[in-house]
A = this chain, B = another copy of it.
Amino acid sequence: MPHGTDSLLLQMFTIFVWAKVFGELFERMNLPAVLGEILAGVILGPYATRFILPGDTINSIAEVGAVFLLFTVGLETRPSDLIRVGRLSLRVAVAGVVLPFACGFVFLRLNHEVAHEAVFVAAAMVATSVGVTARILRDLNAHRSRSARIILGAAVFDDILGMLLLGVLVSIASTGGIRWWRLGLVSAEAIGFALFMIFVAPSVVDRLEPGIQQMQTQDAPLVLALALCLGLSVAATWIGMAAIIGAFFAGLAFADYSPRWNLEPRAQAINQFLAPYFFFTMGSRLDLSVFSRSVVLMALGISALAVISKIAGCGLPLYREGWRPALQVGVGMTPRGEVALIVALIGLQMNMISQRAYAIVMVMTAVTTVLPAPLLRILYAQNGAGPGAGEQAEAQTISGQLG
């Protein structure tokens, strides 16, 4: 084989192993593996030891990895749950999106950041990554409690709201300049796309089912899901949104059929292979030299704001139920994850944010992902974890789909 492929395989092997080794070490310290995989990229990448310099092909594989990452997130977001989880979760999600975005934007503008950078960083403060919380709650045996149910329900809406916001941002950024009519048009487009994928697409998949079962192709449902994932990613870029938004909604369209067609473990296998390249290259893009005193202070400020505004926003709708459930839900919704990172990456690639802002988002993601574990242990320690009667089965269904 030509030399190019040999060295590609070597680079793929090295990145995969180091990412997984760091991930394993982090897991053993009760920290999310994702942060370990990113740290591997930071330490071994071009801005630190220069041990691994990801080439163009690795970067392409990483972006395909991001597409599949969001596809599996979509696959875990069942449209049928959206109706079931109810209005309280919706209110938690909306307040938990609006408040961090507003706080972040105002804070950055007050610190004299340019508008487009402030918008992107604020957008990165929005999307909750509930995987970390779901796992902690299961460790604490609190995953059937009422507050866990609200968190897992809100996370479903939260994902969609985050995607909508990103869709609008990318669309605006790629045409340059914010105009109100354009903002309205793009928002309508993004909402229309989301509504179509939530309410129409699953029934299209439903009608396709007899046809899929007659297909001779091996693993036809998986093949069709992969094709739709790639196809909607392309379609999303055509209407000016990010590819991952299409992938997310492709996953969502198949989410209700995922258990019957055994899609999730197989999509996860592709994810297990490709996602490390995404997280590693995310880390490798972090320029450590930008961490001046002012950037560190700004990063800590944004991190604190991201935690407080999320707790406040998500806790607010529960204020009547007392401080404990409000705090449980607020803290549970705190972790940011892959969506925050992708927003920052897209901002960096579109020259919408600087290396400084990229570094700030990375710190914010790390802080918000690490902090909830000890806090949740305290909040669920005494009496808040009892499962509500009659809610167990439903909560189990919802939490069951969250890795």
Instruction: Check if A2 is an interface residue, CB within 8 A of chain B.
Output: yes
Which stretch in A20-28, A354-362, A391-399 binds the other chain? A20-28
We find that the number of chain A residues with CB closer than 8 angstroms to chain B is 54
Cα A43 to Cα B366 in complex, Å, equals: 49
Residues of chain B lying within 8 A (CB to CB) of residue A97: none
Q: Are B234 and A6 in contact (CB under 8 A)?
A: yes
Instruction: Check if A375 is an interface residue, CB within 8 A of chain B.
Output: no
Residues of chain B lying within 8 A (CB to CB) of residue A16: 226-227, 230
Instruction: Check if A386 is an interface residue, CB within 8 A of chain B.
Output: no
Residues of chain B lying within 8 A (CB to CB) of residue A1: 63, 237, 242-243, 346, 349-350
Instruction: Check if A273 is an interface residue, CB within 8 A of chain B.
Output: yes
Q: Are B223 and A9 in contact (CB under 8 A)?
A: no
Instruction: Check if A270 is an interface residue, CB within 8 A of chain B.
Output: yes
Cα A350 to Cα B4 in complex, Å, equals: 13
Residues of chain B lying within 8 A (CB to CB) of residue A86: none
CB distance from A65 to the nearest CB of B (A): 11
Cα A17 to Cα B231 in complex, Å, equals: 9
Cα A27 to Cα B242 in complex, Å, equals: 35
Cα A67 to Cα B8 in complex, Å, equals: 12
Residues of chain B lying within 8 A (CB to CB) of residue A218: 33, 272, 403
Chain A, 51-85, CB within 8 A of any chain B CB = 56-57, 60-61, 63-64, 67
Chain A, 90-149, CB within 8 A of any chain B CB = none
Chain A, 143-195, CB within 8 A of any chain B CB = none
Cα A2 to Cα B6 in complex, Å, equals: 26
CB distance from A116 to the nearest CB of B (A): 17
Residues of chain B lying within 8 A (CB to CB) of residue A273: 226, 270
Instruction: Check if A12 is an interface residue, CB within 8 A of chain B.
Output: yes
Instruction: Check if A216 is an interface residue, CB within 8 A of chain B.
Output: yes
Residues of chain B lying within 8 A (CB to CB) of residue A233: 9, 13
| Contacts A5-B243, A16-B226 known; 15 new A-B pairs at CB < 8 A | A1-B237, A4-B56, A8-B64, A9-B233, A10-B234, A12-B230, A13-B227, A13-B231, A16-B230, A17-B230, A33-B217, A219-B269, A266-B266, A267-B269, A269-B270
- List 16 contacting pairs A-B, 8 Å CB cutoff, sorted by A: A1-B242, A4-B56, A5-B60, A6-B243, A9-B67, A10-B234, A13-B227, A13-B234, A17-B231, A20-B217, A27-B216, A27-B217, A33-B216, A223-B272, A265-B265, A269-B270
